[in-house]
Structure 1
Amino acid sequence: MSRAETLRDRYRRRLPNRLDELDGPAHGTVDLPLHIVWSGRTNYTLDRPKSCMTLYRTVLAEGMREDLAAYLNRRLLLEQWPVLRRLISPHLRDVWEGAFPELVRSASTAGAAA
């Protein structure tokens, strides 16, 4: 299996069944555990767009299925996706957009509005 296929498979196994399972906080401060962010910053403020975007990038790339549900919020993910999709790896983006067409629609709608 190629490196790209291995990465896609790893990300696919972590996916929630539905975006509705992403029931994390939408406001306030979040402290990520060391198994997600093992060095550097661990504290993020969801009400600050740049901080929120960094948290989502980190959790998408490093979090397990339970972490995705605990730290990501469906509404925030959909709102951020048009920009976030350009900041994550193409393998991660392809897996999430392949599983959740609403993310693709979110990105398309934002592009049409710009």
Structure 2
Amino acid sequence: MDPIRSARSSRALYARPGRLPVVASDLGELRGPTSGTIELPHRLFWQADRRVDLDAPGLLTWMYETVLTEAVQVDELRAWLHGPTLTRLWPQLYLPRGVRHAWEQRHPVLRARGIAA
């Protein structure tokens, strides 16, 4: 086995270096907000003003990308993501390859949405 190739391929599985993606076991448990103004916790978004208007074009998608990449606990996914909305937005989300792979492995419906897009 080529150790360099192995290290590169395993790095692709990380949401952030040294951290594996967190995936909810059931999309139905994701019941987060889909509209209005929310304030993300500092742990997920490191700015002084963490308010996000989910009704503004592109910000709902951006918030999903941020949460999917930064979450370290399933409770964060449950609090901020909404299953049907995640499924709808999936083809448009710009995610690290490892995050996308982990979610599509656990939830084939997302993989099917990505292929159909």
Q: TM-score range by the shorter chain?
A: 0.7 to 0.9
- Give the fraction of aligned pairs with identical amino acids, expressed as a percent: 28
Task: Provide the secondary structure at the position in 2 that maps to 1:44.
Answer: strand
- Deviation beyond 6 Å, 4+ runs, structure 1: none
The alignment's TM-score, normalised by the length of structure 1, stands at: 0.81
Counterparts in 2 of 1:41 and 1:50: CA distance versus 1, 3 Å = farther
Structure 2: any 5+ residue segments left out of the alignment? 1-5
Structure 1: any 5+ residue segments left out of the alignment? none
Alignment of 1:48-87 (within 5 A): 48-63=56-71, 64-84=73-93, 87=94
The structure with more radius of gyration: 2
Residues 24-48 of structure 1: CA distance to partner in whole angstroms, max 9, x if unpaired? Answer: 0122111101011123652212222
Task: Provide the secondary structure at the position in 2 that maps to 1:10.
Answer: coil
More helix by share: 1
> C-alpha separation between the residues in 1 aligned to 2:35 and 2:107?
24
RMSD (CA atoms): 2.1
Residues 10-62 of structure 1: CA distance to partner in whole angstroms, max 9, x if unpaired? Answer: 11xx2111111111012211110101112365221222241111101110011
Q: What count of residue pairs does the alignment treat as equivalent?
A: 106
